[in-house]
């Protein structure tokens, strides 16, 4: 998604402006998108939510499947419109992101300087004539800060599931475009193991507010069949329309 992510500062970006996202063409090749626990309920009504293992970090992370094939996003049409009611936050935050400062326990707001949505001619300025951050910067900081807190909660959620051996590999066969596809390489919550947890452990899940995302994830798995239908050109979304989620600006 990002090709030239650079920390924002008034020396280098005094004249930089950002335009509202009018097309999601930049995401047309994404077949997965990371999501956070707080998104599960809304995302589950459209996309399958599964978990990927990051062996280097020894952790799992949740993602939505946007296609069963790499390099394809079934929810972005030829005009760059998002054909679903919910757009994952990681895509809505573009062209901004947070980068961790290597020597401090803090983060810096960055922008993709190569993005078609930033430049010096059109859009809302990041800094005013006095070199002070505009409302755009403040809104971005607040939004990315909220996402960072959600990400910390999501990591704790995934750690809990892993610690309690609730992940199991997904191995599913679906028919897509006259082909039988094996959906593998990701993980789902094992419902049988979940149901066999002790009452004490189940109460802990409830107290941690993990119940809703767990069942949202399990319910979302039926959306894998929707992806197969979309691949065949049969819209399983009753009235597709561009997402109404607001941009950062």
Give mean pLDDT in consecutive 10-residue pieces for the chain, a chain of 249 residues. 87 92 93 97 97 91 95 94 95 90 78 92 92 92 92 97 97 78 91 96 96 97 91 53 36
Residue-level pLDDT at 240: 39
Nearest to 40 by CA among 195, 230, 217: 217
Residue-level pLDDT at 104: 67
What tokens appear for 127 in the block?
């800094």
Q: Positive or negative, the Cα torsion across 171, 166, 191, 60?
A: negative
Sheet holding 118-119, edge to edge: 118-119, 17-18, 124-125
* Strands (E) located in 41-191: 49-54, 59-65, 96-100, 107-112, 118-119, 124-125, 167-169, 172-176, 179-183, 187-189
Neighbours of 249 (CB within 10 A): 15
What are the extents of the domains in the chain?
5-231
Helices (H) and strands (E) in the chain, counts: 8, 13
């Amino acid at each position: 998604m990002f090709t030239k992510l650079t920390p924002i500062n008034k020396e280098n970006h005094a004249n930089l402006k950002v335009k509202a996202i009018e097309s999601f063409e930049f995401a047309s090749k994404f077949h997965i998108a990371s999501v956070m626990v707080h998104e599960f309920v809304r995302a589950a009504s459209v996309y399958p939510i599964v978990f990927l293992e990051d062996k280097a970090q020894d952790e799992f992370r949740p993602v939505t499947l946007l296609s069963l094939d790499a390099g394809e996003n079934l929810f972005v049409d030829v005009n760059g419109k998002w054909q679903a009611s919910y757009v994952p936050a990681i895509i809505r935050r573009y062209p901004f992101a947070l980068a961790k400062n290597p020597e401090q326990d803090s983060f810096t707001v960055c922008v993709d300087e190569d993005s078609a949505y930033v430049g010096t001619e059109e859009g809302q300025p990041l800094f005013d004539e006095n070199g002070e951050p505009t409302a755009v910067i403040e809104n971005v900081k607040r939004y990315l800060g909220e996402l960072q807190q959600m990400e910390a909660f999501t990591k704790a959620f995934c750690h809990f599931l892993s610690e309690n051996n609730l992940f199991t590999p997904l191995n599913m066969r679906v028919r897509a475009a006259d082909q039988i596809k094996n959906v593998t390489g990701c993980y789902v919550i094992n419902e049988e193991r979940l149901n066999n947890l002790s009452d004490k452990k189940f109460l802990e899940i409830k107290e941690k507010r993990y119940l809703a995302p767990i069942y949202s994830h399990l319910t979302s798995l039926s959306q894998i069949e929707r992806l197969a239908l979309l691949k065949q050109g049969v819209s399983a979304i009753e009235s597709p329309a561009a997402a109404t989620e607001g941009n950062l600006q």
